[in-house]
Structure 1
Amino acid sequence: MRNNLSPYFALVENGVLNADELADAERSAAWRGINTERVLLHDFAVLRCDLLAALAQHYGCAFIQYDERLPVPTELFAGLDGKLLRASGWFPVRKLEDTVVVAAIDPDNPKMREDVQRLVPAADYEFRVALHEDIRWYTQDYLHAEAPLLIGIERTGLAYWRNTMAHWRTKLAAHRTAHARARTSMKLLRWGLAMVAISSVLAHVSNNVLSSWHLAILLVGIALALIGLFDYLKVRRARMDLPCQSALIDITTQNIQFTERYHLPEAPMAAKDNSALAKLAAAIPDYCSVLRPVPASKERTHLARERNMLAAQRTIASSHRTSYARARTGLSLIRTGISFVGLGIAMHKLLNASSYSFTDYVLIGAGCLMFLDGLLWYLPARRLKYGIGRDNKP
Structure 2
Amino acid sequence: MATETNPYSALVEDGVIDAALLDAAQRSATARGVDLERVLLQEYGVSRCELLTSLSRHYDCLTVQYDERLPVPSHLFAGLDGKVLRAGGWFPVMQLGETVVIAAADPRSEALREQVRQLVPAADYEFRVALNEDVCWYIQDYLHAKAELLIGIERTGLAYWRNTMALWRTKLACHRTGHARARTAMKLLRWGLAMVALSNALTRMDHNVLAPHHLAVLVAGIVLAGVGLFDYLKVRGSRMDLPCQSVLMDITEKNIRFTERYHLDDAPARAANEPLLARLTAAIPQYCTILRPVPASKERTHLARERNLLAAQRTIAASHRTSYARARTGLSLIRTGVSFIGLGIAMNKLLGGGPYSITDYILAGAGFLMLIDGLLWYLPVHKLKYGMGREIRDP
TM-score by length of 2: 0.93
2:86 partner letter: R
What is the rounded CA distance, in whole Å, between the counterparts of 2:388 and 2:269 in structure 1? 21
**More deviation in 165-174 or 273-282?**
273-282
What is the CA-CA distance between 1:42 and the residue it aligns to? Answer: 2.2
What is the 5 A alignment of 1:150-189? 150-189=150-189
Match of 1:26 in 2: 26
Given that 1:289 and 1:309 are in contact with CA atoms closer than 8 Å, whether structure 2 keeps it comes out as no
Match of 1:217 in 2: 217
Match of 1:11 in 2: 11
Post-superposition Cα deviations, 1:350-377, rounded to whole Å, max 9, x if no partner, equal: 1032332222122112111111111211
What is the rounded CA distance, in whole Å, between the counterparts of 2:50 and 2:293 in structure 1? 24
**More deviation in 350-359 or 136-145?**
350-359
Q: Which runs of 5+ in 2 are unaligned?
A: none
What is the 5 A alignment of 1:306-317? 306-317=306-317
Match of 2:232 in 1: 232
What is the CA-CA distance between 1:292 and the residue it aligns to? Answer: 10
Post-superposition Cα deviations, 1:266-316, rounded to whole Å, max 9, x if no partner, equal: 55243697111112212212x237999976672121111111111111111
What is the rounded CA distance, in whole Å, between the counterparts of 1:61 and 1:46 in structure 2? 21
Match of 2:270 in 1: 270
Aligned length: 392
What is the 5 A alignment of 1:119-198? 119-198=119-198
Matched, 1:339 2:339: yes
Post-superposition Cα deviations, 1:82-134, rounded to whole Å, max 9, x if no partner, equal: 01111110000111121110000000011111110000011100000001111
What is the CA-CA distance between 1:212 and the residue it aligns to? Answer: 1.1
1:288 partner letter: Y
**More deviation in 217-226 or 175-184?**
217-226
Post-superposition Cα deviations, 1:154-182, rounded to whole Å, max 9, x if no partner, equal: 11111111111111111111101100110
Match of 1:35 in 2: 35
What is the 5 A alignment of 1:276-295? 276-285=276-285, 287-288=286-287
- State the identity as a percent: 67
**More deviation in 380-389 or 275-284?**
380-389
Given that 1:340 and 1:366 are in contact with CA atoms closer than 8 Å, whether structure 2 keeps it comes out as yes
Q: Which runs of 5+ in 1 are unaligned?
A: none
Match of 1:327 in 2: 327
What is the rounded CA distance, in whole Å, between the counterparts of 2:306 and 2:255 in structure 1? 16
What is the CA-CA distance between 1:387 and the residue it aligns to? Answer: 5.0
What is the rounded CA distance, in whole Å, between the counterparts of 2:243 and 2:299 in structure 1? 42
Q: Mark the CA change 1:247 to 1:277 in structure 2 (over 3 Å): closer, same or farther.
A: same
Match of 2:52 in 1: 52
Given that 1:279 and 1:393 are in contact with CA atoms closer than 8 Å, whether structure 2 keeps it comes out as no
What is the CA-CA distance between 1:259 and the residue it aligns to? Answer: 0.9
Given that 2:273 and 2:390 are in contact with CA atoms closer than 8 Å, whether structure 1 keeps it comes out as no
Match of 1:361 in 2: 361
What is the rounded CA distance, in whole Å, between the counterparts of 2:389 and 2:5 in structure 1? 73
Tell me, what secondary structure is at the counterpart of 1:152? coil
What is the CA-CA distance between 1:248 and the residue it aligns to? Answer: 0.8
What is the CA-CA distance between 1:199 and the residue it aligns to? Answer: 1.1
Tell me, what secondary structure is at the counterpart of 2:147? coil
Match of 1:78 in 2: 78
What is the rounded CA distance, in whole Å, between the counterparts of 2:190 and 2:267 in structure 1? 51
Tell me, what secondary structure is at the counterpart of 1:148? helix
What is the rounded CA distance, in whole Å, between the counterparts of 2:390 and 2:271 in structure 1? 14
Q: CA RMSD, aligned part only?
A: 2.3
2:185 partner letter: S
Q: Mark the CA change 1:342 to 1:223 in structure 2 (over 3 Å): closer, same or farther.
A: same
Q: Mark the CA change 1:3 to 1:126 in structure 2 (over 3 Å): closer, same or farther.
A: farther
What is the rounded CA distance, in whole Å, between the counterparts of 1:319 and 1:201 in structure 2? 44
What is the rounded CA distance, in whole Å, between the counterparts of 1:392 and 1:267 in structure 2? 13
Match of 2:252 in 1: 252
Tell me, what secondary structure is at the counterpart of 2:181? helix
**More deviation in 227-236 or 348-357?**
348-357
Q: Mark the CA change 1:163 to 1:351 in structure 2 (over 3 Å): closer, same or farther.
A: same
2:41 partner letter: L
Tell me, what secondary structure is at the counterpart of 1:155? helix
**More deviation in 239-248 or 160-169?**
239-248
Tell me, what secondary structure is at the counterpart of 1:144? coil
What is the rounded CA distance, in whole Å, between the counterparts of 2:216 and 2:272 in structure 1? 54
What is the CA-CA distance between 1:55 and the residue it aligns to? Answer: 0.6
**More deviation in 274-283 or 132-141?**
274-283
What is the rounded CA distance, in whole Å, between the counterparts of 2:267 and 2:206 in structure 1? 73
What is the rounded CA distance, in whole Å, between the counterparts of 1:226 and 1:96 in structure 2? 71
What is the rounded CA distance, in whole Å, between the counterparts of 2:64 and 2:389 in structure 1? 58
Given that 1:271 and 1:278 are in contact with CA atoms closer than 8 Å, whether structure 2 keeps it comes out as no
Tell me, what secondary structure is at the counterpart of 2:391? coil
Tell me, what secondary structure is at the counterpart of 2:306? helix
What is the rounded CA distance, in whole Å, between the counterparts of 1:197 and 1:333 in structure 2? 18
What is the rounded CA distance, in whole Å, between the counterparts of 2:353 and 2:26 in structure 1? 107
Post-superposition Cα deviations, 1:174-227, rounded to whole Å, max 9, x if no partner, equal: 101100110011011111111111111111221244411121111111111111
